C-alpha cells in the first residue's frame, strides 16, 4: 500500500444513537425491535422499510460491521491508511425526508447537522462532514449552509438523489441559490441515497426483494439525480462540484450517450451531458464492479475519488481498491482529484482549516 494516506469521501455517521437526540423535537428518532431486528422509527414510519415495495435491508441496523464509534473508526482508518474521512448521513440523515410535516422534517435535519458538527469537533480523528440539505426545503437548506459555513470541518453538503415524492427534483429552480452558494463557498455537493427509506425510488419501488431494491435503488435514484442536474433549465454554477456516492459507475457512459443522442437533435450548440459530467461530477467506484474501470476511463480519470462506505456491510478494503484501479487512480492522483472536487477535504486538518 502506498505511504501516501487516502482521503475518504464516504464514511458514515452513526446518527441513530439515542445519545445524540436528547433535545426537544417534534419527532424524536427512536430505536425499536421489529421481527428481532433493530430499526429506526421516525413518527409512524419504520426504517429500513421492513417489507413491501422498496423493502430495506432485512437485517435492519444490524448490517453494520462496527458501531462507528471513535475506537473502531480509528482502528479502521489506521488499518486502511486513511488520513481524513467525511461523515455521510446514517439511518436518520438518509430517512428524514420521508417525514411529511415541514417543521418536524427540518428539525430532524437541523438536529443531525448539530450532532455531526459536535462529533467532528470532539473527535481526535480528522473527521469532516457535509451539511445535510432538504430538497423539499431549499430556503431552509440555504440558511443551514450559512449557519455552518464557518465550521472548519465542513467540506460540503449532502442531499438525497430523489425527494420524498416525484414532485421534488434537483432540477428545480428553487435549488439554484443553494447550488450557487456551494459553488461560491468552495463546498462540494455530495449526492447519496439509501434503500428502504420510504423515498420516491421508481426502480426500487417496483420490487419487494431486498437484493433487487438494493441493486436498483441506488442506481435508479442517482440516474434521476444526474439527469436532473445535467439538464437543469438554470444550468449548473460554473464552480459547482458534485460527488456521486454509492451509485455504481458502469451505467453512466451509456446513459449519458443516450441523452447525448437527443441532445444533439434538441439542444445543438450546448455542452453535451458528458462534457458537463467531466466538468462538474466526480464518481467513487467500487472494486467489485466489473466494468467500473472502463467507465471511469470514459468519464475521465481526473473525476475518480475514493470512498470506503465504513461501517456498512459492503465496506471497501483500501488495498483491494488500489489494486483494482492500479495505474488509473494512484494515491497521488486521488489526492489531486480530491483537491479539485472536495478542496476542503484535501486542505489542512480540520482543526487548522480557515473558515
Structure confidence at residue 355 (pLDDT) = 34
Q: How far apart are the C-alpha atoms of 220 and 239, rounded to whole Å?
A: 26
Q: Is the Cβ–Cβ distance between 61 and 16 less than 8 Å?
A: yes
Structure confidence at residue 171 (pLDDT) = 97
Cα 254 to chain centroid distance, Å, stands at 22
- Look up the domain containing 37 and give its range: 6-348
Summary count for the chain: helices (H), strands (E): 11, 10
Cα dihedral angle (144, 150, 153, 154), rounded to 10 degrees? Answer: 40
Structure confidence at residue 62 (pLDDT) = 78
Q: Confirm whether 70 is domain-assigned.
A: yes
Domain count, the chain: 1
Q: Confirm whether 354 is domain-assigned.
A: no
Q: Confirm whether 273 is domain-assigned.
A: yes
pLDDT in tens, the chain (355 residues): 457 899 999 999 999 999 999 878 999 999 999 888 899 999 999 999 999 999 998 888 877 777 788 999 999 999 999 999 999 999 999 999 999 999 999 999 999 999 999 999 999 999 999 999 999 999 999 999 999 999 999 999 999 999 999 999 999 999 999 999 999 999 999 999 999 999 999 999 999 999 999 889 999 999 999 999 999 999 999 999 999 999 999 999 999 999 988 776 666 678 889 999 999 999 999 999 999 999 999 999 999 999 999 998 789 999 999 999 988 889 999 999 999 999 999 997 654 443 3
Q: Is the Cβ–Cβ distance between 344 and 189 less than 8 Å?
A: no
Contacts with 283 (C-beta within 8 Å, 6 or more apart), sequence order? 243, 244, 247, 249, 252, 295, 296, 299, 303, 304, 305
Q: Confirm whether 57 is domain-assigned.
A: yes
Structure confidence at residue 352 (pLDDT) = 47
Q: Is the Cβ–Cβ distance between 184 and 178 less than 8 Å?
A: no
Q: Is the Cβ–Cβ distance between 133 and 154 less than 8 Å?
A: no
For residue 260, the SS3 value is: helix
Q: Confirm whether 160 is domain-assigned.
A: yes
β-pair type (154-159, 127-132): parallel
15: domain CATH number? 3.20.20.140
Structure confidence at residue 270 (pLDDT) = 80
Q: Which of 320, 302, 160, 182 has the alpha carbon at shortest distance from 244?
A: 160
Residue 27 DSSP one-character state:
S
Q: How far apart are the C-alpha atoms of 125 and 350, rounded to whole Å?
A: 10
Q: Confirm whether 121 is domain-assigned.
A: yes
Q: Confirm whether 355 is domain-assigned.
A: no
Determine how many CB atoms are found less than 10 A away from the CB of residue 169: 20
Q: Confirm whether 132 is domain-assigned.
A: yes
Q: Which of 190, 136, 137, 203 has the alpha carbon at shortest distance from 168?
A: 136
Q: How far is CA 166 from CA 46, 48, 201, in A?
A: 21, 20, 9
Amino acid at each position: 500500500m502506498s505511504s501516501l494516506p487516502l482521503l475518504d469521501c464516504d464514511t458514515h455517521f452513526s446518527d441513530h444513537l439515542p445519545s445524540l437526540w436528547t433535545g426537544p423535537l417534534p419527532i424524536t428518532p427512536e430505536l425499536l425491535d421489529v421481527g428481532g431486528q433493530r430499526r429506526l422509527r421516525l413518527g409512524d414510519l419504520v426504517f429500513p422499510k421492513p417489507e413491501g415495495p422498496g423493502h430495506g435491508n432485512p437485517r435492519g441496523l444490524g448490517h453494520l460491521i462496527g458501531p462507528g464509534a471513535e475506537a473502531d473508526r480509528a482502528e479502521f482508518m489506521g488499518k486502511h491508511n486513511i488520513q481524513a474521512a467525511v461523515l455521510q448521513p446514517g439511518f436518520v440523515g438518509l430517512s428524514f425526508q420521508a417525514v411529511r410535516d415541514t417543521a418536524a422534517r427540518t428539525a430532524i435535519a437541523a438536529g443531525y447537522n448539530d450532532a455531526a458538527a459536535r462529533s467532528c469537533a470532539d473527535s481526535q480523528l480528522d473527521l469532516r462532514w457535509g451539511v445535510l440539505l432538504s430538497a423539499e426545503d431549499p430556503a431552509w437548506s440555504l440558511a443551514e449552509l450559512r449557519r455552518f459555513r464557518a465550521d472548519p470541518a465542513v467540506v460540503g453538503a449532502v442531499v438525497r438523489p430523489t425527494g420524498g415524492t416525484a414532485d421534488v427534483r434537483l432540477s428545480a429552480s428553487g435549488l439554484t441559490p443553494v447550488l450557487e452558494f456551494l459553488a461560491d463557498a468552495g463546498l462540494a455537493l455530495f449526492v447519496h441515497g439509501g434503500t428502504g427509506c420510504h423515498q420516491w425510488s421508481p426502480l426500487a419501488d417496483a420490487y419487494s426483494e431486498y437484493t433487487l431494491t438494493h441493486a436498483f435503488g441506488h442506481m435508479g435514484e442517482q440516474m434521476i439525480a444526474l439527469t436532473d442536474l445535467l439538464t437543469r433549465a438554470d444550468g449548473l454554477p460554473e464552480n459547482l462540484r458534485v460527488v456521486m456516492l454509492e451509485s455504481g459507475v458502469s451505467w453512466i457512459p451509456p446513459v449519458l450517450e443516450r441523452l447525448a443522442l437527443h441532445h444533439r437533435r434538441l439542444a445543438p450548440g450546448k455542452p453535451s451531458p458528458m462534457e458537463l459530467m467531466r466538468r462538474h461530477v466526480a464518481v467513487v467506484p467500487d472494486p467489485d464492479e466489473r466494468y467500473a474501470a472502463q467507465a471511469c476511463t470514459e468519464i475521465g480519470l481526473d473525476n475518480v475519488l475514493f470512498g470506503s462506505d465504513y461501517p456498512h456491510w459492503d465496506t471497501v478494503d483500501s488495498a483491494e481498491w488500489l489494486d483494482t484501479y492500479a495505474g488509473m487512480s494512484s494515491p497521488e492522483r486521488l489526492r489531486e482529484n480530491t483537491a479539485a472536487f472536495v478542496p476542503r477535504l484535501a486542505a489542512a486538518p480540520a482543526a487548522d482549516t480557515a473558515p
